[in-house]
Chain A
């Protein structure tokens, strides 16, 4: 049994539902770009407070790996792969690992309700957060790349290619990270998956592919960050083959669009249960 409140009110009451008003006008919808910008700005301010120490960790980790590899690798193609891999590893650490953790915690802590009860397109939330995490990797990636070039004696001439590599690899990895965080049933699992993803980026991205067994090389081809690494590594050549660089970046971009689409789908799924 349940009680219809209208019946128990003193002073007589309209019949149930009789006085229901005309369908009211809905409030405005938040449009994609302004809300994306608002989420981006908010996330960037968050990152400034909470993520600076972690960014240092990411950078030192990559620098440390390069110093370690200096003893093993003696220039040539392998050195290029190490420097490019270490630089992209910073992107993987922040965009994949930290974003997976963030969305995992947001989901577990009920934080998604906040966004789900605002008239904001899911893509704006996912892209805004992914964009903020990806742009936060810029200083660490640049520092790592410059340090690596100095360490291995590689040319700095084409470092500008990072302008394309960071957003494209960032999109692919951030989309993957967001999707992992939103799909993981528990926040600890999201953290674990983020860490695993980053370990994969480390092992498969930094180590020169020539020394890997066939199966591992296949796994390397499946990892979205690989194409960013490849594109970046090619630009260290004396005469870079720009067609191949563009090809790698295009793959990276396509994977980025796909993984962000998956992340948006995962967000919708997680927001309304």
Chain B
């Protein structure tokens, strides 16, 4: 994975995808019997992005942050209310049908391919991407070999495990080369071997023909390891956009301290009681974001004296992208995954 960042910037120069002022509002829904009313929702709010050739660009945010809505507008599946999307010079808002000839999209659903065998799913997708029969079969065989799916080629997707099915859909997305890959949570449910297959297939396409990748994820660890740059989304807005390490520098002054109590926090200890209004509490767990000096004091306090008897476990960690999200004012306290 160490070559990844270098590659990203080697190709970094021209911009593949330019998004300006992209706004989409879902209208308010009046409540009916059994269905509560929902207010008007801004799914994407004045979004601006520049995605450069050859980079893996990430959209990170909790569930409901507007990642998928944004991606649907970039792939021509949804018309924005306002704003522009240009991919490789083509106006996707005016000509949404052109998106299908520029990019490959891996959505979250596999309904269209579920009953097909892995081999036929990849081949048919290639045919529908405009390949002739011979090339579709050739590319199908190459991609299935590359991803280690050849032994499963004859099995219908429905009979596969979630991760295998996801990998088969990813294979279908790769048949018929495209300069831009849009992948919506591609590795959901995959084991480490399959994940590695996905990222090395992505890397190969980047190295060999400068493919660009737009990746949607709510997985913080994955975002930190594979992305060249990441836009953090919160309630339809881009609240930050930088390299993962650049983002983490923004909260470099902080350390995260997690304290897990055996039963309840020993509030009779004055030092512990004093922390109470600064913690994020979830059950037995207290999470604190502190300056390094303060963190050391807190750890010293809880690992000695009266508080220690009540302490089950504690961890001290440098900030992750999740901390960045929270520090930037991300409103949703749940939904990012750390696995």
Chain A contacts to B: CB under 8 angstroms:
1-6, 8-10, 14, 16-17, 19-24, 26-31, 34-35, 38-39, 41-42, 45-46, 49-50, 105-106, 109-120, 124, 271-273
Contacts and interface: CB of A to CB of B under 8 A. Distances in A.
Interface of B: 13-16, 18, 45-50, 53, 72, 75-79, 86, 88-90, 96-105, 107-113, 115-117, 120-121, 123-125, 127-133, 156, 176, 178-179, 229, 231, 237-243, 246
A24 B107 contact: no
22 contacts: A2-B48, A2-B238, A3-B239, A4-B48, A5-B48, A5-B231, A9-B229, A10-B246, A19-B13, A24-B88, A24-B90, A24-B179, A26-B98, A29-B101, A34-B127, A113-B72, A113-B107, A114-B113, A117-B77, A117-B100, A272-B76, A272-B78
Interface-central residue, A4, A16, A110, by most chain B CB under 10 Å: A110
Given A2-B47, A8-B242, A28-B101, A21 B116 contact: no
A23 B88 contact: yes
B79, B112, B121, B129 — which one has the most chain A CB atoms within 10 A of its CB? B112
B89 A118 contact: no
Contacts of B76: 116-117, 272
Contacts of A112: 112
Contact of A41 (B13, B99, B124): B124
A124 B128 CA distance: 9
Contacts of B98: 26
Contact of A119 (B46, B53, B130): B130
Contacts of A120: 100, 128
Main SS at interface, chain B: mixed
List the 7 closest A-B pairs by CB distance, nearest first: A111-B111, A23-B89, A28-B130, A24-B88, A109-B111, A5-B241, A110-B109
A22 B89 contact: yes
A20 B129 CA distance: 25
Given A114-B125, A119-B100, 4 more contacts: A17-B50, A27-B176, A38-B123, A111-B112
A34 B132 contact: yes
Given A20-B89, A26-B102, A30-B128, A2 B46 contact: yes
Given A23-B89, A27-B176, A116 B14 contact: no
B246 A118 contact: no
Given A22-B89, A42-B120, A118 B102 contact: no
B89 A113 contact: no
Nearest to B130: A28
Contacts of A27: 101-102, 129-130, 176, 178
A7 B294 CA distance: 33
A110 B111 contact: yes
A45 B115 CA distance: 8
B15 A17 contact: yes
Contacts of A9: 229, 242-243, 246
Q: Which of A30, A38, A118: most chain B CB closer than 10 A?
A: A118
Interface centre among A3, A28, A31, A105 (most CB of B within 10 A): A3
Contacts of B103: 117
A46 B128 contact: no
A46 B239 contact: no
A35 B127 contact: yes
Contacts of B13: 14, 19
Given A28-B101, A39-B124, A110 B108 contact: yes
A5 B49 contact: yes
Contact of A3 (B100, B120, B241): B241
A37 B126 CA distance: 13
A273 B68 CA distance: 14
B128 A5 contact: no
Contacts of A28: 101, 129-131
A4 B120 CA distance: 42
Given A3-B241, A20-B18, A120-B128, A106 B112 contact: yes
B124 A42 contact: yes
